[in-house]
Amino acid sequence: MDEINKNLLDRLDFIEFKQNIIFLKPPQHSTQLFYELTLEDFLKIRDFTNSYIIKVQNNENTSLSDFEKKLIDIWPPVKSYPLSAALIAKILMGSALYNKLVS
């Protein structure tokens, strides 16, 4: 895939991610934190989540709290929003893998 198409797909994933944050967050919570998220930050988060998906699929010892700690290292603002790790995991992993992660 050439660089232009890759960039376009990355941007579409980013827009879809932000849209899903708005749809999946609890109604009483603000998403102000995610307005500050840049494309570069999103790509780092997506790459990390994809590597974590492999751990979950291989039944390695994983947990949502471990995911959250490593996510904070990648994008520190996530620490200020209590449900951010769960939202990010649910969106980027899909519900089946997310349920496996939290079980």
Q: What is the mean pLDDT of residues 90-103?
A: 93
In this predicted structure, what is the pLDDT of residue 81?
83
**What pLDDT digit, counting tens, does each position of 63-86 carry?**
999 999 999 999 999 998 888 899
For residue 37, which phi and psi values (nearest 5 degrees)? Answer: -65, 125
Per-residue pLDDT reduced to its tens digit, 31-50: 787 888 999 999 999 999 99
pLDDT class of 94 with cuts at 50, 70, 90:
very high
Assign 103 a pLDDT band (cuts: 50, 70, 90): confident
| Total-model pTM | 0.90
CA distance 103 to 92: 17
Q: What is the pLDDT of residues 7-31, one digit of tens each?
A: 999 999 999 999 999 888 877 777 7
